[in-house]
Amino acid sequence: AAWIRYYRRGCEPEARTLEIGTSNHCDDHIALMPGKGNVGIGTDSPEAKLDVSGQIKGGGVLAGIWAAQPNTDVSITCAGWEDVSDTSVPFKLDRKAIIFCTYSINVQPNGNCKGRNLIATRLVVDGNGCPQSGSHFQAHSPNHPNVNLNGNLVLPLETGEHTVKLQWKKVGDNVARWNSNPSCLDGFGGGRTLVVMAFYLPIIGV
């Protein structure tokens, strides 16, 4: 069966729905065939084959993308996890979503690289460290070593406000300081970025 009906919802006289449906078989479809024209939702002058004025909600739809791409030079001198300055992303979800996070940070040691001295990185989501996002670097050469540390994270989140932060941790006493210097080589020697993308549920395979 197929139908088109226009009906009132609840007690409000202006709360009405135009419903188009099919119910015969799982292979039944509804198709809009505008020919050379366009289809508009929320607009009477669509400029593309499908032009939606407003937000789209549905499984797998991109809910938002946010990023931190600072140019500030920062360093760490103490043991223990610390926030990497200027490298956090606050965002708000209006419904449940899956987030994909990725980061990259170029680091350089300042000090004696002998012994067990390393720098570790991780992502922290709403105050919780995420081991699957971790990375580390142990320098063995005094000749100005540096490396890009990278990590990724996929995580479901509830509706509301959230924050993703990049943290780092210094291990060992010979290296006095680890640096992240985006200003190096006129700003092209090694930057740092944190990117968060959110996709509305459900997503097949997650």
Query: Structure tokens of 36?
Result: 């050379």
Q: Which residue has the higher pLDDT, 11 or 169?
A: 169
Q: Which residue has the higher pLDDT, 185 or 167?
A: 167
The domain 62-200: what is its CATH number?
A: 2.60.120.40
Q: How confident is the model at residue 154 (pLDDT cuts 50, 70, 90)?
A: very high
What percent of the chain clears pLDDT 90, i.e. is strictly above it? 50
Q: How confident is the model at residue 106 (pLDDT cuts 50, 70, 90)?
A: very high
Highest mean pLDDT among 29-33, 107-111, 120-124, 175-179: 120-124
Label residue 2 exposed, middle or buried (CB < 10 Å: 0-12, 13-18, 19+).
exposed
Domain ranges for the chain: 2-52, 62-200
Q: Cα 94 from chain centroid?
A: 15
Eight-class DSSP state of 34: -
Whether the CB-CB separation of 132 and 100 falls below 8 Å is answered with no
Residues 95, 6: Cα–Cα separation, whole Å: 29
Residues 197, 67: Cα–Cα separation, whole Å: 9
Q: How confident is the model at residue 188 (pLDDT cuts 50, 70, 90)?
A: confident
Q: How confident is the model at residue 99 (pLDDT cuts 50, 70, 90)?
A: very high
pLDDT in tens, 110-119: 877 777 889 9
Whether the CB-CB separation of 87 and 68 falls below 8 Å is answered with yes
Question: What is the per-residue pLDDT for 205?
Answer: 57
Q: How confident is the model at residue 190 (pLDDT cuts 50, 70, 90)?
A: confident
Whether 17 shows a pLDDT value over 60: the answer reads yes
Task: Report the DSSP pairing between strands 62-68 and 192-200.
Answer: antiparallel
Question: What is the per-residue pLDDT for 122?
Answer: 99
Please give the average per-residue pLDDT across 109-138, as a whole number: 92
Size of the chain, expressed as the number of residues it contains = 206
